[in-house]
């Protein structure tokens, strides 16, 4: 372990060994990474632990420093562990390079099937027993981290002292098709709100899309920017500053090159920074698998299939008429594994995962209905990424869960400061 200091915090880096497959504890193993934060002067105190589970899937825990965002509030009473979930960050990362060693696409797919929320929860239990001496700990789950926390409540509630969920109450019963049928109208509302704020972007988006339809555009590193890939910049619109970021990205897209206009290098680099999966390939590989296990049906590229039910999202059809170009949101499509060079070698494994039908259920409705762990969740009104109605259905299904429904924040409310976590702590403790 390595201990060091930042302004307002003492940090310790931890490494943990866990089984790749928790049903085979003597088999292959993974190394997990976690970063501990504690307030200065309290490093030797017997403080309760709070483990943070990042959104995703596929993202390592955010690299916070000092008392940034929600961390300052947490350090008032907790020892905090920012845990990189398996396959992410510094926890045995999985990408085209590391997965190539497994050989066949079938072997890769079988391996990746062990990287869902059920395995993440078992990892957490292994880590908890090691660092708390067996005492239960608190969990803070952001977005997909909230999905994991919900799985945790139904799998190992004995390990939980209290749970805080931010923008991450999952549907317990809906198939992936239902998730996206609810999602596309929400995304359309976000896009329409963006154009109402920045009407000049209507023309800019159409002009860029028309250029991409006529000219094959390859970004630095080999990413092919198609009209559909350009549309996926709409993923920005679910964040508190996303509309503004999208606007500033679009406003200087073109540069004059002699007697013609081209997409500028600066624009291409900015787009690549948003769209590339190089740093989080598991997001693309396992995003729909988060919803696997409902009814024994494969996910089968649900976002792609359901998109056909919403023809206004057809970029090329929009260009043929005068309809606005609709950006898309948190959706993964087969073409992602063609346009992104870091995903192309994993295309066959992705197909196998998409057509897998034997996913185990991630949630236990009966145990959730009998829950005794104090739980509080913030549900963001009209959250672009997680359906509000689905979240509230789940909130009603978890015994004792207290909700805070608000339109003060977007999906990233936890990251804007201490207020969200402070309110959830108050709800769990009965102070509110």
Whether residue 421 is preceded by a cis peptide bond, meaning omega within 30 degrees of 0, is no
Q: Degrees (nearest 5) of the Cα angle 331, 349, 277?
A: 45
Parallel/antiparallel/unpaired status of strands 2-6 and 9-19: antiparallel
Question: Buried b / exposed e across 199-227, counting CB within 10 Å, b at 16+?
Answer: eebeebbbebbbbbeeeebebeeebbbbb
Instruction: Please name every residue paired with 140 in a beta bridge, in sequence order, or none if there are none.
Output: 52, 164
Do residues 221 and 272 lie in contact, with contact meaning Cβ atoms separated by under 8 Å?
yes
Catalytic residue, candidates 26, 45, 259, 358: 358
Q: What are the tokens at 142?
A: 């952001």
Q: Could you give the CA distance from residue 306 to residue 185 in angstroms, rounded to a whole number?
A: 12
Q: Could you give the CA distance from residue 246 to residue 240 in angstroms, rounded to a whole number?
A: 12
Q: What are the tokens at 348?
A: 């066959």
Catalytic residue, candidates 194, 211, 336, 411: 411
- Any catalytic annotation for residue 143? yes
- Secondary structure of residue 359 in the 3-state scheme: coil
- Any catalytic annotation for residue 412? no
Catalytic residue, candidates 143, 171, 243, 276: 143
Virtual CA dihedral for 132, 133, 134, 140, nearest 10 degrees? 0
- Any catalytic annotation for residue 358? yes
Active site residue ranges = 143, 358, 411
């Amino acid at each position: 372990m390595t201990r060091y200091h930042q302004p307002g915090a003492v940090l310790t880096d931890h490494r943990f060994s866990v089984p790749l497959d928790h049903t085979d504890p003597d088999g292959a193993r993974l190394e997990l990474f976690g970063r501990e934060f504690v307030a200065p002067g309290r490093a030797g105190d017997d403080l309760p632990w709070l483990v943070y589970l990042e959104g995703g899937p596929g993202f390592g825990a955010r690299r916070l420093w000092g008392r940034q965002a929600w961390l300052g509030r947490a350090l008032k009473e907790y020892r905090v562990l920012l845990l990189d979930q398996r396959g992410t960050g510094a926890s045995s990362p999985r990408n085209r390079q590391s997965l190539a060693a497994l050989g066949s696409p079938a072997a890769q797919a079988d391996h990746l099937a062990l990287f869902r929320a059920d395995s993440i929860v078992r990892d957490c239990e292994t880590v908890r027993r090691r660092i708390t001496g067996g005492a239960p700990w608190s969990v803070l789950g952001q977005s997909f981290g909230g999905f994991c926390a919900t799985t945790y409540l139904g799998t190992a509630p004995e390990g939980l002292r209290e749970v805080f969920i931010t923008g991450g109450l999952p549907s317990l019963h809906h198939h992936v098709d239902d998730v996206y049928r609810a999602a596309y109208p929400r995304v359309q509302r976000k896009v329409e709100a963006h154009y109402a704020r920045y009407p000049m972007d209507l023309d800019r988006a159409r002009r860029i899309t028309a250029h991409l339809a006529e000219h094959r555009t390859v970004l630095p590193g080999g990413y092919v920017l198609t009209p559909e890939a350009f549309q996926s910049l709409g993923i920005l619109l679910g964040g508190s500053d996303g509309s503004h970021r999208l606007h500033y990205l679009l406003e200087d897209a073109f540069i004059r090159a002699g007697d013609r206009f081209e997409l500028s290098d600066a624009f291409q680099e900015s787009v690549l920074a948003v769209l590339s999966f190089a740093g989080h390939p598991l997001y693309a590989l396992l995003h729909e698998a988060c919803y696997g296990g409902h009814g024994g049906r494969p996910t089968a590229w649900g976002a792609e299939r359901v998109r056909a039910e919403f023809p206004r999202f057809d970029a090329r059809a929009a260009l043929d008429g005068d309809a606005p170009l609709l950006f898309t949101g948190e959706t993964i499509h087969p073409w992602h594994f063609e346009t992104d060079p870091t995903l192309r070698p994993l295309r066959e494994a992705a197909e196998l995962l998409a057509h897998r039908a034997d996913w185990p259920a991630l949630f236990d409705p009966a145990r959730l209905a009998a829950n005794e762990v104090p739980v509080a969740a913030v549900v963001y009104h009209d959250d672009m990424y997680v359906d509000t109605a689905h979240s509230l259905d789940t909130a009603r299904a978890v015994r004792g869960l207290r909700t805070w429904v608000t339109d003060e924040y977007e999906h990233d409310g936890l990251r804007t400061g201490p207020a969200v976590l402070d309110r959830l702590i108050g709800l769990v403790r009965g102070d509110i």
